[in-house]
Structure 1
Amino acid sequence: MAGWGKWALMAVALAGTAAHAQPAADTAPTAFPQRATAYPDRPAIAVGVAWYPEQWPEERWDTDLKMMRDTGFNTVRIGEFAWSRMEPVEGKFDFAWMDRAIAAAQRHGFMVVIGTPTAAPPAWLTQTYPDTLRIDEKGVRAGHGGRRHFSFASQRYRDFSRRIATEMAKRYGRHPAVVGWQIDNEVGPPSWDPEAIAAWHAFLKQRYGTIDNLNKRWTTQYWSQFYNSFDQVPLHQTGQQNPGLLLDFRHFTTRMWTDFIQNQAKAIRPLIDKRSFITTNTMFWNAGFDHFVMHRDLDIASWDNYIPDGRPDWVANGANHDLVRGYKQRNFWLMETQPGRVDWVPVNRALDPGQVREMAWQAVAHGADAILYWQWRPAANGQETYHGAILGQDGKPNPIQPEIARVSADLTRAAPLLADTAPAADVAMLYSYDSRWAIDLQRHHRDFDPIKAFTDFYRPIRVQSQGVHVISPDADLARYRLVVAPNMMVMTETEAAALEAYVRGGGHLVLGPRSGMRDDANALYPRTQPGPLADLLGAEVAQYYALDEGVSLTGAIAGKASIWAEELTPTAPDVRTIATYRDPGGWLDGKAAIVTRKVGSGSITYVGAWLDPATMNTLAADLLAEAKVTPVIAGAHPDFEIAEREGKGKRILIAINHGKDARALTLPAGAKPAGGDWAGGRVAAHGVAWFTLPGSPR
């Protein structure tokens, strides 16, 4: 902290001034280290809060900032909803208050992340230019007063957004307190306005080249959908539309939001310190667009992790962290998380004592280098006044504040160990947005939820291996011993070729139900599952069935299956059936449910059924053993989440007890306690402990 304090004191003289250095020439994403920022003299782990100085009297600012420092924070995020304060009337900018706010934050030793305010346009903009407002699929134009009510296709709105972002970057791009930029806030809803429809037609023309090609790929002879020109193609998200159209709607939405974000990012990047990151914060398992694509030209990923019902499923939540890290395959920022409760579900239950801390540590274990809470204090009025906050409406600490202060103390203490480390894993799971969308469009069984299908595979594999990376299907697979694609229904020929090369190179590949069923236009392959990988597997699906009651499995993997079952037929003599259906009098009786085939030193396995948890546990153990994947700590109690972060010359073990009772933990040889709730060989209830490990990173 000494270096950080020295920086803060030296920089006070520059507070509140616009940047005078020449703009950097950089326009591409920066190669960031595995730490919170690319500034070597700043904290390796950021911990802080969203602060809204525009909502409070200026004489209160120093009090709040001091209280934040007393809570152990080193970072504030500001600005993302303050457009009407920055530009109160069109073309008239007022940054004097923000100058003073950033100066105050710097005076108290904070790093600052600035959010561009384009999620909530000012009234003068939407009233003067109503064409900037989004139109929903029913044709209703949004009104002013909420947020995210603009059209992502509006060129006028993009111009205004670029202008405010540029003015902010000119003023604060080289400010010594500012370390990062968040573009917009939780982008999401699309629009059906005239500009969006025109952009849709242009997108389709670029994607398919000719209308004849689109007709062929979408099979538009079905239901007389044939089009003579691109401008005949309707823009739809829902309803009984062509599956190719509906999947391309998601591709289009991805393109529009990516362009919207890059419109600001490209304006900002030449004006800011090249060490400052550019990101945008996303939400949960948001299916509105392909996050891998959106993040390609951003520096880091960041997301907002909330537990709406106040009852965390730590394994499923960990999968979401792993997915976010996979967007860039680099450590990420947790840009928002709840200090207790949310305010948007029917019952907004608070997390139990200790769970705010354990969830913060879970994020770090999965690769977060920053934990920022939302929010510091509830606004006196507004749509989110009931949301959890660190202070109450009276400006005094809420009961959660001491626990959050402990999080800050933990991370400040652990930061030197965690610096330049990343989560270790020998297992990768492939997450395909195309497949998720395609399954949701035509589930065939109401309960075939693609997220649950993914997490049902993830759960036993993560618990048993203690390390999983979630990555895009086009990522490099060579480093992983085991690759699992739980439901990769949409599979391109290129992706199939990469998966085959991985197996032939000695990797172990596992495919779940429906894999390889459709191409990237959402059309059925002429060969049944796994489509382009059927020859490699040496088996194919003869038929698939939606189940309204479970079926039994016998063989090396015995147990039960429900929801979905595929009948597999081996086509090669060396294919081994490891599970067979028992369904007396039914179509599936005696048919293969799971098959596997060795390919050199690698293997490919196809799981044709949705397995129950016990059966998945058995299968996961066999798959991990075959791939020679071993956990850091064998036999840990199920309440424990075990993770390893590693970097050059160091390995850090993190143990989180998600249970309500203290639990014993047998450490690996050479492990040394480094901090947390470790006493007498046990980790306290809702406790966290971290250790150093001997040996080199894997």
Structure 2
Amino acid sequence: MRKPQNFQWKEITMGTCYYPEHWSRELWQDDLQRMKAAGITVIRVAEFAWNKVEPEENVFVFDFWDEFLKLCKLEEMQVIFGTPTATPPAWLTEKYPEVLNCRQDGVPYRHGARRHYNYNSPKYRELSARIVEKLAQHYGKHPAIVGWQIDNELNCEVDEFYSEADSVAFRNFVKEKYKTLDNLNEAWGTVFWNQTYTDWEQIYVPRPVLNNGCNPHLRLDYYRFISESTISFCKMQAEIISKYKKDGDYITTNGMFWNLDNHKMAEECLDVYTYDSYPSFAFGLNRDPKTAKDLNDRHWSKNLTEVRSICPHFGIMEQQSGAGGWTTRMEGPAPRPGQLTLWAMQSVAHGADYISFFRWRTCTFSTEMYWHGILDYDNRDNRKLAEVKDFYNKLKCLDEVCGADYTAAFGVLKDYDNMWDTNVDVWHRRVEAQSSEEIFIASEIYHTPYNTLYLNEDTDIKELQKYPVLIYAHPVIMTGKKATLLKEYVANGGILIIGCRSGYKQENGKCVMLPQPGLLQKITGSDVRDFTFTSPAEPSVTANWDGQTIDMPIFNDIMEPVEEGETLAFYDNSYYAGKPAVIRKNTGKGYAIHFGSTFSRENMKVLLEYTGILEPFQAMLEAPQEVEVIQRVKGNKKYFFVLNYMGSEQKIVLKKQMRSLYDNVIANGEICMKPYETIVYEVLE
């Protein structure tokens, strides 16, 4: 069961990211004063400034940050201080090239960008620990500092590691896990293609092989290894900072990136979790239209839902304030008037109690000089600064909402083993990607919100029982302990929905010789007798569910009911026309549904309606599909965030009297929302 987070903001707070090393000292005080005038009370600094403290190996100077932090104390500006390990200095990488990460073919990533190190180099861990120790020892009790950020965006830019140090560490990882080579060879199925290992030294992180045919079971363990390496590096820094920081100061890092168990990292290393929110990525001008998200910036709510599963009351370390882009990649339009507020309020609606805009002023040089901040190169007041000030005024009206909990109608179950399996298995990847995307879209357009829950072997049944309905879309890998937990959830009155391709692998990624859905069969009452991707040579596959035609896209399980299973829908076409497509089984007070396909927004609506959870807010508020509706609850008070993502007016209908928190106006009936407008209501009973 997830432990409570160690830190939570007492009021919704606004900050920004600032880089004094980029600017003349003559600007510092004026910048801090202008920030305060805009409502900014916290700044994040130092995460890329190793050389400012250690310009040469083992030579430490503190004059720069001493001077700046003294000014922050004078101006009563609070500071989150970043450890600078995301960008090792040139003297370090030149003298110790073994610290560099490598491509899969062994070519090192050289100095000049960021995140070009590896977590497992003993020398890099030694030097990282030393710089963190020096900083924490010197600044841990500084009155201006309220928080510490570890590194910057762990596993961003690159989330695979192929240095020699990684191979050494990977050998130790699998040796600890399997104890003997016989056990490892059995788990990885190395008898296939004569891959059997006879010495631990023969084992490496994945290397280039013909047709990228790397052993999938080795690669699955490799992703587990990356996660453990990342967490170990983070924990090393957290333990050092903890020795020196003041009571009440928090440790965080800004996620959420890949091949990393973010939940475990948050629990073992952090006091609170923060995220970097850039909804404008949806409008990237050089994106592939084939992979574009059809909800555009609203799609970022899917990421925020994931963040909330890690830390229910999180912070945003970098909230988009301007157009994004590097000199080397990414282009994007500037936020339209109102979108800066919309995107920041999107974060608040989903649980953020701290919003820090990236960045105060756009850098005038180097790779990120097109990653625009609040202020532009000319340093003049502009419409973005005016909007930040207006956003602050709105935030101050929301103090009573701080700490309120997000309301979810259902839960979406996930786990890291199945997530990492999508890296290994293209069959799983396509199926999972379809359902993950469409469950989110259905939730958004039908105003039926969900929470994400990550299952592990220690998950408590109480966590599951908070939700009347759980969707575990495609749990390819299934364990006996998780199956038992799910059966208990159903028996106690829960409704469990699984999709196709479920329960046919064990933990090492090998297929089980059991009828699908494997260990879940006793819960679902379904027996998969055949399965197939849908064929592009045939019409789209549909099924008949009590007179309704529902789509069954991408992949189909062809089933028979067993052990008191009941068929709810039959396939309409293809060679399996007339065969069961959806099966239900009652167990105790609840039931499970095996939906024999991937999920779509259309068939999700049918499932949400069947389970009785569709549009839970409709008695209080109606909104068009273009508007996001979020409820947060605190005690007996209910608050609605209503967000218009469109550049056109949208109409909503309030069915109960509500108070607009921005202006304290009582409202009821039809409300016309302006383009990109946000409104926050308190429901008046």
| TM-score (structure 2 length as normaliser) | 0.90
Q: Which residue of structure 2 aligns with residue 276 of structure 1?
A: 249
1:246-272 Cα distance to aligned partner (Å, 9 max, x none): 111100000100001111011111211
1:481-512 Cα distance to aligned partner (Å, 9 max, x none): 11111222222222222111111111111112
Q: Which residue of structure 2 aligns with residue 565 of structure 1?
A: 556
Q: Does 1:116 align with 2:89?
A: no
How far apart, CA to CA, are the structure 2 residues paired with 1:391 and 1:115? Answer: 22
Change (3 A) 1:102 1:422: farther
How far apart, CA to CA, are the structure 2 residues paired with 1:248 and 1:185? Answer: 25
1:106-147 Cα distance to aligned partner (Å, 9 max, x none): 333322111111000111111122221122211101211111
Q: Which residue of structure 2 aligns with residue 12 of structure 1?
A: none
Q: Which residue of structure 1 aligns with residue 6 of structure 2?
A: 32
Mapping for residues 472-487 of structure 1, pairs under 5 Å: 472-474=454-456, 475=459, 476-487=463-474
Q: Which residue of structure 2 aligns with residue 204 of structure 1?
A: 174
The answer as to whether partners of 2:529 and 2:560 remain within 8 angstroms in 1 is yes
Q: Does 1:389 align with 2:369?
A: no
Q: Which residue of structure 2 aligns with residue 25 of structure 1?
A: none
Change (3 A) 1:457 1:31: closer
How far apart, CA to CA, are the structure 1 residues paired with 2:618 and 2:301? Answer: 17
Change (3 A) 1:431 1:356: farther
How far apart, CA to CA, are the structure 1 residues paired with 2:684 and 2:588? Answer: 34
The answer as to whether partners of 1:308 and 1:341 remain within 8 angstroms in 2 is no
1:192-222 Cα distance to aligned partner (Å, 9 max, x none): 2222111101100111222222222222211
Mapping for residues 515-594 of structure 1, pairs under 5 Å: 515-549=502-536, 550-556=540-546, 557-573=548-564, 575-583=565-573, 586-594=574-582
**Aligned pair partner of 1:154 in 111, 121, 125:** 121
Q: Aligned letter for 1:233?
A: I
**Aligned pair partner of 1:409 in 381, 384, 393:** 393
Change (3 A) 1:72 1:140: same
How far apart, CA to CA, are the structure 2 residues paired with 1:342 and 1:31? Answer: 32
Q: Which residue of structure 2 aligns with residue 98 of structure 1?
A: 65
Q: Which residue of structure 1 aligns with residue 42 of structure 2?
A: 75
Q: Aligned letter for 1:535?
A: K
- Higher mean alpha-carbon deviation, 525-534 vs 645-654, is at 645-654
Q: SS at 2:503's partner residue?
A: coil
- Count of residue pairs brought into register by the alignment: 652
How far apart, CA to CA, are the structure 2 residues paired with 1:546 and 1:410? Answer: 50
How far apart, CA to CA, are the structure 2 residues paired with 1:438 and 1:87? Answer: 41
**Aligned pair partner of 1:332 in 314, 322, 334:** 314
Percent pairwise identity: 28
Q: Aligned letter for 2:435?
A: A
Q: Aligned letter for 1:503?
A: V
Change (3 A) 1:463 1:331: farther
The answer as to whether partners of 2:434 and 2:598 remain within 8 angstroms in 1 is no
Q: SS at 2:389's partner residue?
A: helix
Q: Does 1:430 align with 2:413?
A: yes
Q: Which residue of structure 2 aligns with residue 241 of structure 1?
A: 214
How far apart, CA to CA, are the structure 2 residues paired with 1:62 and 1:204? Answer: 53
Q: Which residue of structure 2 aligns with residue 21 of structure 1?
A: none
The answer as to whether partners of 1:165 and 1:268 remain within 8 angstroms in 2 is yes
1:587-639 Cα distance to aligned partner (Å, 9 max, x none): 3211222222222221111222124432322222223449x966674542112
The answer as to whether partners of 2:407 and 2:632 remain within 8 angstroms in 1 is yes
The answer as to whether partners of 2:471 and 2:498 remain within 8 angstroms in 1 is yes
1:31-52 Cα distance to aligned partner (Å, 9 max, x none): 435x43xxx5xxx112121100
Q: Aligned letter for 2:179?
A: G
Q: Which residue of structure 1 aligns with residue 140 of structure 2?
A: 173
Q: Which residue of structure 1 aligns with residue 333 of structure 2?
A: 349
1:298-348 Cα distance to aligned partner (Å, 9 max, x none): 2222111223243763553212101111123x2111111221321155542
How far apart, CA to CA, are the structure 2 residues paired with 1:450 and 1:375? Answer: 35
How far apart, CA to CA, are the structure 1 residues paired with 2:261 and 2:530? Answer: 30
- CA drift of 1:237 comes to 7.2
Q: SS at 2:661's partner residue?
A: strand
Change (3 A) 1:531 1:465: farther
How far apart, CA to CA, are the structure 2 residues paired with 1:541 and 1:634? Answer: 42
Q: Which residue of structure 1 aligns with residue 111 of structure 2?
A: 144
**Aligned pair partner of 1:671 in 633, 651, 658:** 658
The answer as to whether partners of 1:319 and 1:470 remain within 8 angstroms in 2 is no
Q: Which residue of structure 1 aligns with residue 590 of structure 2?
A: 602
**Aligned pair partner of 1:362 in 328, 331, 346:** 346
Q: Aligned letter for 1:249?
A: Y
- CA drift of 1:517 comes to 2.2
Gaps of 5+ in 2: 285-294
Q: Does 1:222 align with 2:212?
A: no
Q: Does 1:380 align with 2:364?
A: yes
Q: SS at 2:632's partner residue?
A: strand
Q: SS at 1:119's partner residue?
A: coil
Change (3 A) 1:634 1:113: same
Q: Aligned letter for 2:529?
A: A
The answer as to whether partners of 1:79 and 1:116 remain within 8 angstroms in 2 is yes
How far apart, CA to CA, are the structure 1 residues paired with 2:51 and 2:179? Answer: 43
Change (3 A) 1:30 1:177: farther
Q: SS at 2:177's partner residue?
A: helix
- CA drift of 1:466 comes to 4.0
Q: Aligned letter for 2:397?
A: R
Q: Which residue of structure 1 aligns with residue 267 of structure 2?
A: 296
How far apart, CA to CA, are the structure 2 residues paired with 1:336 and 1:539? Answer: 47
Q: Does 1:255 align with 2:228?
A: yes
Q: SS at 2:662's partner residue?
A: strand
- CA drift of 1:103 comes to 2.7
How far apart, CA to CA, are the structure 2 residues paired with 1:676 and 1:356? Answer: 20
**Aligned pair partner of 1:614 in 596, 602, 606:** 602
Change (3 A) 1:67 1:223: same
